[in-house]
A and B are shown apart, each in its own frame.
Chain A
Amino acid sequence: MFLLTEKIIDNPSLSKEIDNKKNGAYVFFEGRVRNHNDGKAVTHLSYSVYPQLAMRVGEAVIAEAKARFDVQDIHCIHRTGSLNIGDIAIWIAVGAAHRDAAFNACRFVLDTLKQDLPIWKKEHYQNAESAWPNNQI
């Protein structure tokens, strides 16, 4: 499952959704908005998205991860719109029978999304002009 949302990501209630008795291992990843980048104090940020392409990419990445790794469930949600410091920007949950596959699939999903997901971040700083940083792949 891949979702985009403008709402605050509520990870505890999401975690219940992926409960599956076949899974002995769960790996959860939260990417949060930090208060600094490249030596500048970040006040908040805005994510813009190309939703049709992002949904297609997100679903394809999850399908690829399920094909590559022995996992049962993968859920991923990405925030869009305006985010404050500490907000969860991306949440990934992977459920598998064993831990290796769960860790590896989670890393694969995150790294591939950072490379391909058509989402852009405008960072707003305390004492500098806003900028559009991009992921260093």
Chain B
Amino acid sequence: MCSKDKVTVLFFAQLSEISHQTEAQYPIEAQETALSLYQRIRAEYDFPLEATQLRAARNHAFCPWDTVLENRDIVAFIPPVAGG
């Protein structure tokens, strides 16, 4: 872990609409988890959805919220789904 580590965050559905973007780079702190990153981004954009309403994904697979992120990871926060 170094101070220049970054992840790419993908935004979908409401989160994309509110933040006006589909992806963005975010620097990560040491031991940054999917949850701590979401809380930071939620505060930045005032997302109405709490983490308990979402699922996290890392590198195109669902992951637990306490997953520690690594440099160059691709992270997504999955709002409640509506397929089918």
Contacts and interface: CB of A to CB of B under 8 A. Distances in A.
Interface of A: 31, 47-48, 50, 52-54, 56, 78, 89-90, 110, 113-122, 132-135
11 contacts: A52-B60, A53-B57, A89-B84, A90-B83, A114-B84, A117-B83, A117-B84, A120-B12, A120-B13, A120-B14, A134-B82
A132 B13 contact: yes
B43 interface: no
B83 A113 contact: yes
A80 B80 CA distance: 17
Nearest to A114: B84
A10 B82 CA distance: 22
A119 B82 contact: yes
A132 B14 CA distance: 7
A133 B84 CA distance: 12
Nearest to B83: A119
B61 interface: yes
Nearest to B12: A50
Contacts of B57: 50, 53, 118
A3 to B, nearest CB: 13
Interface string B1-37: 0000000001011101000000000000000000000
